[in-house]
Amino acid sequence: MKLPTNLNAIVQSFPTYEALRKDYAAHGYLGECYEEIIQKLREYDADIERDLQRLVNRVRAKSAISIELNQLDKAYAPKVVSRVKSLESVYRKLCDGTIRWEDLPLDDTVGYRVVCRFADECLELRDLIDNELQQAPFTLQSRFPRDEKGNWVEKVPDSGYRSCDFAFVYARPEIGLVLEGELQLRTALQHVWAEVSHDTLYKNADLSKAPSYIAGGANAMMHALSDNLNAVDRHLVEVRRLVIKGTGKDAKGEDF
Residue 61 lies in a domain: yes
* Range 103-109 average pLDDT: 89
- Does residue 256 have a pLDDT over 70? no
Residue 225 lies in a domain: no
Residue 201 maps to a domain? no
pLDDT at 186: 98
Q: Is residue 255 scored above 70 in pLDDT?
A: no
What total of structural domains would you count in the chain? 1
- The answer to whether the beta carbons of residues 182 and 169 sit under 8 Å apart is no
Residue 116: name the closest of 6, 240, 227 by CA: 240
Phi-psi region of 176 (alpha: psi -120 to 50; beta: other; left: phi over 0): left
Q: Please state the pTM of the whole predicted model.
A: 0.87
Of the candidates 120, 72, 122, which has an alpha carbon nearest to the alpha carbon of residue 243?
72
CATH number at residue 39: 3.30.460.10
User: In whole angstroms, what separates CA 19 from the centre of its chain?
Assistant: 29
Give burial (CB, 10 Å; 0-12/13-18/19+) of 167. Answer: middle
Q: Is residue 192 part of a domain?
A: no
User: Using one digit for the tens of pLDDT, what is the confidence trace for 50-75?
Assistant: 999 999 999 999 999 999 999 889 99
129-185, pLDDT tens digit by residue?
A: 999 999 999 999 999 999 999 999 999 998 999 999 999 999 999 999 999 999 999
Establish if 245 belongs to a structural domain: no
Amino acid 223 reads H
What whole-number distance in Å separates Cα of residue 88 and Cα of residue 31?
9
Residue range(s) defining the domain that contains residue 35: 7-187
Residues in the chain: 256
pLDDT digits (tens, 9 = 90+) for 213-237: 888 888 899 999 999 999 999 999 9
Residue 13 in domain: yes
Q: Contact, 228 vs 190, CB < 8 A?
A: no
Domain contains 134: yes
> Within a domain: residue 69?
yes
**In whole angstroms, what is the distance from residue 35 CA to residue 30 CA?**
9
